[in-house]
Structure 1
Amino acid sequence: MWRLRLDTTANRLGLEVRDGDLLLADFYSLELSRNELTKLPLPAAKNWWLGLEDAHESLLLLHGYGNRQVGEHKGIFAYSSETGKLAWEQPELAFYGIAATGVLALEPEQKTLVQLQPDSGTIVRQNVSLVRGAEEVANYSRARYQHCTYPMLYLEGEKYFAEVADFLRQQLHVEPMGGIEYAEAGEYIVVSYYTTAANSKTDNMLSVFDLHGKPKLNKHLARGLSGIGSDTFIIFNQKLYFIQDRNTLVVHNLT
């Protein structure tokens, strides 16, 4: 599984690549103008218990876990996207979101938010309500991602899953299962879907269609997965980004 997070302030892409069978995880930052890739130099034993929350102002924001059994996120660890070094950490807080004024984090005991200075992690505002925080994150996201499209995830059993699955059956003669990610960008439709593989595993496929439904691209993203994921692709400045076979970042122009 993997995760992609755009840092629109620095024209960078944060990447998390995980191998559930080997319990391995790696984190990278890609500078999009020069295609320069930086890998965080973290020990493999530690990486599995970290995850990518977001990327902002040339930082990769990772989380740890409080209760590993339920997947509770705890801790914020900010690494430089350029050097891979730890810039700051707040081990007792939980990441909430990015607002125009800084990083919002949850104080688990108080159930309120604090605002952190992005470059230092210093707390500069306290007692922010969850309602106020949600508004600030939503408002900033509209400006932050105005040139970016993240796909919508439709799970099996939902109305839109059935509609897109029917479209895929007609166009590609496949039988999607589990979940489908769907996005429209300009003159193209991008769909990531799963099919049943051997030994109760799944394969993840990505297809691009024009607005008439004609296939333009078909790619195997991954084979032999244990389940389904999300954030399998993003679209930024008319370019499609996705990870193939857990080890290759692929970029296609949608122009």
Structure 2
Amino acid sequence: MNVGFIGTGSMGSLLIEAFVASGAMSPSEITISNRTFSKAQALASRYPGMRAEYTNAEAARNNDIIFLCVKPHEFFQVTADIKSVLRADQIIVSITSPVLLSHLEGELPCKVAKVIPSITNLVWSGAALCMYGERMQEKDKKKLEALFTHISEPLRIDESYTRIVSDLSSCGPAFIAFLLQQFIEAAVEETGIPFETAQQVAGNMLLGTGLLLTEGGMTAEEVQARVAVPGGITAKALQLLSRETDGIFNQLIRTTHAKYREDLIKVTTAFCGEEVNGQ
């Protein structure tokens, strides 16, 4: 299987590194391009056999799957770059949430999917959120999901939930890491515990909590109930957290959705020449 990656920034390079390290792909199966060729060239030099191309069209030509790992405002130009070299049997995969499947299907002659990865895929964990265009057959979906199985748990999601599932899966690691950082820094400030020790303890706690919520089959509410003895230390602290964070995640979701709608309008205007409310 030959695979192209257009865009080798943070998420593009993350996917390449994860696929190669997991054995899902060999470097010789991968062709890459980037707006700045030297960046693509530098990445390819780390993986003997990987090819860096000067143009997006060459990164897309003759590959079975092509990942578009670029920012929303770059999509219209990228589709213009590649559509003349695409075949009907090729699969284009967008990893960018504000770009709709209908945007790409309206411009490109091939099969179209959207997969939202997560930084957790770098350690072969977390989900890959899969959405499919009308031209994707079941065999195409299974082919793509088999690839992502090496680094994630592929989950089929309705495109109307793109933003919220992205919040939970893709943005979520940053949100949780932010909260954990505050917890660690407060522990250091209040008690003098070495930062490295606090970070190691907190990191292992987070890993174990994740396993309880997945392999352990517990809900977040059940974890709290099992840890917090009525009238005890944890229960007292949970009361504080409940009071001080009331509504904060509602505000967070409203913020991400507002930014999503802003980006979606810009993308739709580029593709269709008109603004829509979108999803």
TM-score normalized by structure 2?
0.29
- The TM-score normalised by the length of structure 1 is 0.31
From the CA coordinates, give the structure whose radius of gyration is larger: 2
Q: Higher strand share goes to which structure?
A: 1
